[in-house]
Amino acid sequence: MILFAPNPTGSGHNMRALSIAQAIKKQTPDMALTVALASLQPTFTPLFEKAGVEVVDIAGRLVDYSKKSNLSKELDWANYIGGYIANTFLSGERILSYLALIAEYKPAVLVSDYNMAACLAAIFSGTPLVFVTERYDFTLCQLEDHDLADGGFEVNALEMARARTALHSQFSWMIKQSQLVLTDKPYVAALDQGTPVAEALSNGKAHFVGPMIRDYVQTGLDVRAELNIGDSPFIVASISGTTMFSQNKDALLAAYLDSFKTLRERNPELKMVLLGRQDIAAQDGVICVPYYPDWMGLLHEASLLISAPGWITVTEIAALQIPTLFVLPSKSEYHELEALRRLELLGFATHLGHDQHRIVELVQGELDKDTQAPDYFAPHQQVAAPDGQGAARAATRIIELCQGVVIPLTESQAA
């Protein structure tokens, strides 16, 4: 039996676990799979159950990190470690919950998607651990204090240096204790050199497998008819996902709506599907959808996606070759700053801030580009690696670990 433990922050961790579980079921239909869900249970419980995965609600309550602020503007040990990390990532209560679950289910392997509490429980119990990660180190360890200050944080330099030391030590130890590390993020030397996952890539414990996403299956839904888009060109603007500060989402929403007014003046037929919100005043050409079941089908029809740089979204658009502009409203959304920088270095269109004039300029520039040009999707291909079948590759390696068909550790790995 395989036990999945996706991190509760954001839908991407749940989606990645679901994609790998579906791929495992395709390769070994009789494999027993269980997932410990800690967030967005109403959305993901039926999806996992449809895939033949037993669901355990380990949180015991509905948790949605996308609807509220999750961090204080004062970054010191008490607020960051005590008030945020200890509750969200390294909760003692949650570690004990996973230990109890492991004792009950006795999994052959625990698959953690950036879930530190589950990793620690697996290590403590001697359960083989597969660590699935879009991070090469703890987020804080790949950012400088000046990045945080630029985001409006009041940084206690001494205490945050201690926090980085502690988090890096914990992350490094966790990688060394894992039997297998899988990532969907391509290595970029300027960002990743010297990180724990980079070291694991070099010694063969970690593997870049590419997008760990669901297979695209046509649902039969007529996106244009369902959303009353007609034959008009349209862009999709998504403002869902985990946020550190809710005011950033509000500022981004206003910028998208104001930008679209200008874009529609230039392109009277253009429409915008706004995903993730429905509580706004009616505006010509704007279609508000809190959730759309055929996300990939919607993207296939769109001229452009505007999105936060959440990595599961990055891997989806890379595999599907969707023209995309990635926007991060502020450096205070520090958890996605490294991803935005990576995307820029890989050649994607990016914007930091919510300047409507710059957003208009960037969107218009992307709409005017020739997507048939030979090098247009070159950035996407670096993430897709090379076919977008990362979930299948991840599933194969996890099944081999369960069956004991693994490459022996080198001396450096065993140390």
What pLDDT score does 67 carry? 47
* Same domain for 273 and 145: no
- Give yes or no: residues 176 and 276 share one domain: no
Lowest pLDDT segment from 235-239, 259-263, 301-305: 235-239
Q: Is residue 58 part of a domain?
A: yes
Same domain, 397 and 363: no
Q: Are residues 370 and 401 both part of a single domain?
A: no
Q: How many CA atoms lie within 13 A of 69 on its CB side?
A: 10
> Exposed (0-12), middle (13-18) or buried (19+): which is 42, by Cβ within 10 Å?
exposed
Residues 64 and 209 in one domain: yes
> In this structure, which amino acid lies at residue 196?
P
Q: Is residue 103 part of a domain?
A: yes
Say if residue 187 is in the same domain as residue 242: no
> Per-residue pLDDT tens for 210-221?
999 988 777 767
**378 inside domain:** yes
The dihedrals phi and psi of 220, each to the nearest 5 degrees, come to 90, -5
Tens of pLDDT, residues 121-161: 999 999 999 999 999 999 999 999 999 999 899 999 999 99
* pLDDT score, position 54: 97
Tokens coding 259:
């930008």
In a domain, 200, yes or no: yes
Residue-number span of the structural domain to which 151 is assigned: 2-213+388-414
Query: Do 201 and 234 fall within a single domain?
Result: no
- The total of other beta-carbon atoms located within 10 Å of residue 109's CB is 19
What is the model's pLDDT at position 326? 97
274 and 127: one domain? Answer: no
Nearest to 51 by CA among 74, 75, 77, 26: 26
Pair of tokens at residue 208: 């870049």
Q: Categorize the per-residue pLDDT at 347 as very low, low, confident or very high, splitting at 50, 70 and 90.
A: very high
Asked whether residue 218 is assigned to any structural domain, the reply reads no
Q: Is residue 277 part of a domain?
A: yes
| CATH code, domain with 307 | 3.40.50.2000
Verify that 152 and 260 share a domain, yes or no.
no
The CA-CA-CA angle for residues 347, 348, 352, to 5°, reads 115
Tell whether 26 and 169 lie within a shared domain. yes
pTM above 0.95, yes or no: no
Q: How confident is the model at residue 294 (pLDDT cuts 50, 70, 90)?
A: confident
Structural domains counted in the chain: 2
- Are 380 and 393 in a shared domain? no
- The CA distance from 170 to 209, in Å, is 24
Q: Over the stretch 17-67, which tens digit does the pLDDT of each residue have?
A: 999 999 999 999 999 999 999 988 888 999 999 999 999 999 775 444 444
Domain co-membership, 257 together with 325: yes
The phi-psi region of residue 289 (left if phi > 0; otherwise alpha if psi is between -120 and 50; otherwise beta) is beta
Report angle CA 291, 307, 378 to the nearest 5 degrees.
125
Q: How confident is the model at residue 415 (pLDDT cuts 50, 70, 90)?
A: very low
Q: What number is the average pLDDT over the span 361-372?
A: 96
